[in-house]
Amino acid sequence: MGTLHKYDLQHTQCQVFFETGTGLGHSLKHALDNGNFSTLYSSEIHSPTAERASTLFASYPQVHILHSDSTTALKSILRQVPSTTSIFFFLDAHFPGEVEVGYNYAEHTPNGVTMPLQEELQLIRQLRPGAMDVIVVDDLKLYEDGPFENGQISNSFANIPSSWRNLDFVHALFPDKTIEKSYLDDGYLILKPHSSNFSLKKLSAGYRIKRTIKKNVARLLG
């Protein structure tokens, strides 16, 4: 499972943040604190998780929790954001379910689709032609083998068909973007404009120390 909370988001040159899969809200909170985004969207299909996030971020009017599947959320929001306003996408490549144990997501996902990345990217391409967006996809190891920091998946992992484990559709959809791979954590796929200098750089030690102090102070005061 990928997360953004250890990476520097201050130089994305994007005005809007959009993630699929809110989870515990760690990436969203980091994007809020570190990313210089004017508006942030997070889609979450699981009702209790979406409700918890809505409560957690209730005091931040620029944050919008969308209780829906990712493709429905994308269709709704991307029609509202002008193509001249760049978006930073953080897409959850794997099937949902890491937060709520025992919840059968396949039964509650449209058409039983539990790996919607290809459809999500198709929507972004269709609705955002020519936009200067940056897209980061987590869990690259679901799609290919590599020297991932957290190791590779087994051949039988989640019964993923071997025919799904390739990125041909990404290259076909975005021939006009620079495509990079990072093997940190479980792997990240980065799609960005050729002019973008964004990369996944870890936060400085100073920033991490300040964040820890801030959290501890808030915990003591709360």
| DSSP-assigned letter for residue 185 | T
Domains observed in the chain: 16-221 (3.40.50)
Low-confidence ranges of the chain (pLDDT < 50): 98-100, 103, 105-113
Strands (E), the chain: 16-20, 39-44, 63-67, 87-91, 134-138, 178-182, 188-192
Dihedral angle sign, alpha carbons of residues 175, 110, 64, 51:
negative
Q: How far apart are CA 105 and CA 62, in angstroms?
A: 28
DSSP string, 15-45: SEEEEE--TTSHHHHHHHHHS--SEEEEEE-
- Say what the pLDDT of residue 67 is: 95
Are 186 and 2 in contact, with CB atoms under 8 Å apart? yes
DSSP 109: S
Q: How many CB atoms lie within 10 A of CB 171?
A: 12
C-beta separation of 94 from 105 below 8 A: no
Query: Counting Cβ atoms within 10 Å, is residue 89 exposed (0-12), middle (13-18) or buried (19+)?
Result: buried
Residue 105 is predicted with a pLDDT of 47
